[in-house]
Amino acid sequence: MGYPSGIIDSLDIDTGESTQIADLAMPAGTILPFGEKYLLVSNAQNYSGMLKVWNNATGMVVDTENIANLTSSACALNPSINTAYLPGLNYLYRIRLNYDTGEMTVSSSGYSSQPGKAWVAFNDSRLIVSNGSILACSIYTDDLHYTGQLGNGIVDLVNDDTRGGLYYITEDPGRLYAMRHSGMSVNAYADLDGTPAFLFQTSDKIIVIVVDDGNYYTKIWTKAEFGF
């Protein structure tokens, strides 16, 4: 769990106890574990940002990068190619991660971006961004390739490689969509009352947080209801 103060806590799910593991001296926007001992932490403020890699074993920052024109802290990690993607004002940044040293190399992905989020899906072979674009990502190339469009601006997304399903929520219209990996076609959808905010999953359930008249509500479906 990351806080604006830069403190990062780990939470024991069984006991509910939290333990401070890091103090990065910057707001912790998004936290991504990679390798066995590192955390990649991103922060974006006023169209500039910073990335830090924290070593859990030594309790030290091992690498820092300043990034201009950063519009979101929402990193997406592709563990298959040791690469994270971060939306910028003009394009997606690519962050190559060294799992042995914790060092990172930042460059442009070559794909024009819009402010928003990014998610890795389809067995780590695709990157999906908030505007609905589906991009092929590979360790063998230095840029991303457009391969399709989900058709709606995406608020949040989760991917289930085990069952072969992709689930995402949109604000206009307010819906939860379920897409089957094979064929990349929408399998089913559910209309949502209120404004969709967050999407989570367990092994067999989909959980949506919506905001309605200033209040937060939780809606839960089984994946079987969508044919998975």
pLDDT tens digits, the chain, 228 residues: what are they? 888 888 888 888 888 899 898 888 888 888 888 888 999 998 877 667 889 999 988 999 999 998 877 766 678 888 888 889 888 777 788 889 999 999 999 887 777 666 678 899 999 999 998 888 898 887 666 667 888 888 778 999 999 999 999 999 999 899 999 999 988 788 899 999 999 999 999 999 999 999 999 999 999 999 999 999
How far apart are alpha carbons 136 and 59 in whole angstroms?
35
Residue 207 belongs to some domain of the structure: yes
Residue 220 in any domain: the answer is: yes
Model pLDDT, residue 181: 92
Listed in sequence order, the residues at least 6 apart from 117 whose beta carbon sits closer than 8 Å to its beta carbon are 72, 74, 76, 87, 129, 130, 154, 156, 157
204 found inside a domain? yes
Residue 9 lies in a domain: no
Q: Considering only the C-alpha atoms of the chain, give the largest distance between any 2 of them, rounded to a whole number of Å.
A: 48
**Domain boundaries, position 180:** 151-228
* Element holding 156 (H helix, E strand): strand 154-160
For residue 9, give the nearest of 41, 35, 50, 36 by alpha carbon: 41
Residue 26 lies in a domain: no
Q: Per the domain annotation, does 218 fall within a domain?
A: yes
Count structural domains, the chain.
1
CATH of the domain at 213: 2.40.10.480
Residue identified by tokens 């926007």 is 29
Q: In this predicted structure, what is the pLDDT of residue 7? A: 87
- Residue 184 domain-assigned (yes or no): yes
The residue type at 57: A
Whole-Å CA distances, 36 to 30, 96, 99, 184: 18, 16, 8, 33
Which residue type occupies 111? Y
| Distances in whole angstroms, Cα of residue 157 to Cα of each of 54, 195, 218 | 26, 15, 16
**Which is nearest to 152 in space by CA: 135, 129, 136?**
129
Q: Assess if residue 209 is contained within a domain.
A: yes
